[in-house]
Amino acid sequence: MLLITGATGRVGQELVRSLLKRNEKFRILSHDAANACRVFGKNIEIIEADLTTPLSFPAIERACRGVDCIIHLAALVDYSASEKETMLANFFSTQQLIKAAEMQGEEKKPRFVFLSSTSVYRGTSASLMDEKIQRRASNAYGRSKLAAEKALEKSSLDFIILRSVMIYGKSFHEGFSDVIRRIKEGRMHIIGKGDNIVPFIHVSDVVQAIELAINSKVKREDFIITSGESWTQEGLFADIAKRLGVSAPIKHTPKMLAYLFADFGALKARLTGGKKFYREYIFTLCENRRFSTEKAKRLLKFNPEVKFGNGIKEVLNALGEKK
């Protein structure tokens, strides 16, 4: 029996669909049971609990009873949220789950699979990052994920931590949709030199990694997961432009200026309630971030299957653009 948090999220829904195909037994822990029921129907066991409040702990502990593995996907990814809100949603919620899992008895403690983020390396400047590199988070989201990781490492649980790079797929419109629209309209600029590596992973490969982590014999390990491809920012833009049938971006904007525009956009959004745009989006596009996924391939037997050429076709199709 598996327990899944964040099942109604985009990764969660992909995971649930995969588990249903394989007739796996699982239950869902959701802060909104009615919504989870609308998404998945009434044939899946759903327990309602808010991971961010101690008042829900009895329900959380009940949800952990009899499960072999907890897959913790629930998270707040909102760069406008305060440090307190982000810590509550991403760190404290993990603490609650850990405590509930540890209460199941020595022989009944479930494995804990935690979907973290390479944001825990956001403050690291190494040319190639792997699991041996010291983690240094530089924004609230990264710090909350790092705190959650450390809580797991201090626990008595058997755990697998999966650190994902930027996830994409047909339901992931943030970032990609803006880039695609700007390229189509001829308004996209290359930020900086454009020779930086942009790491990403298709959602179906994230699900593959989660399923491998559930069943793996390795214990108390952490893994970086990426597509394994090495696309530059300029190369990505050129490939998307070609698929759209438009000219590739050729104009360059200095990185510092792009960050200033992002800060201005974030301020404007707070004041007017308009579309949110943050420097994290600029960072994702223009900073050189190379991650090794060799450990995941070696120990988890992780083998990313979706190449960008196929994945971007799916995204363009979902957005109603020509392929």
CATH of the domain at 147: 3.40.50.720
* 111 plus 259 within the same structural domain: no
Distance CA(116)–CA(82), nearest Å, equals: 19
- For residue 63, what are the domain limits? 2-164
Q: Are residues 291 and 144 in the same domain?
A: no
Domain count across the chain: 2
- Are 193 and 310 in a shared domain? yes
Single pTM value for the model: 0.94
- Give domain status of residue 206, yes or no: no
- 144 and 233 part of one domain: no
Q: CA 65, 56, 146, 17 torsion: positive or negative?
A: positive
pLDDT in tens, 163-193: 999 999 988 876 678 889 999 999 999 999 9
Q: What is the CATH number of the domain that holds 175?
A: 3.90.25.10
- The helix (H) or strand (E) run that includes residue 183 is helix 176-184
- Is residue 215 in some structural domain? no
Pair (189, 279) in one structural domain:
yes
**DSSP string covering 157-200:** S-EEEEEE-EEESTT--TTHHHHHHHHHTT---EETTS-SB--E
Q: Region 220-225: what's the mean pLDDT?
A: 98
Verify that 132 and 171 share a domain, yes or no: no
pLDDT tens across 226-285, in order? Answer: 999 999 999 999 999 999 999 999 999 999 999 998 888 777 767 776 666 678 889 999
Q: Do 80 and 91 share a domain, yes or no? A: yes
| 188 and 117 within one domain | no
Same structural domain for residues 30 and 50? yes
Low-confidence winner among 42-56, 130-144, 258-272, 300-314 (lowest mean pLDDT)? 258-272
- Let me know whether 98 and 175 are in one domain: no
8 is a domain residue = yes
Question: 262 and 133, same structural domain?
Answer: no
Tens of pLDDT, residues 60-101: 999 999 999 999 999 999 888 899 999 999 999 999 999 999
Place 119 in a pLDDT band, splitting at 50, 70 and 90: very high
Q: In 3D, which of 43, 103, 29 has the Cα closest to residue 73?
A: 29
End-to-end CA distance of the chain: 41
**Is the residue at 271 inside a domain?**
yes
Domain boundary among 164, 187, 216: 164
The answer to whether position 205 is within a domain reads: no
Residues 19, 44: one domain? yes
Give the DSSP H/E element, type plus range, for residue 47.
strand 45-48
Specify if 222 maps to a domain: no
In a domain, 22, yes or no: yes
Q: Is residue 176 part of a domain?
A: yes
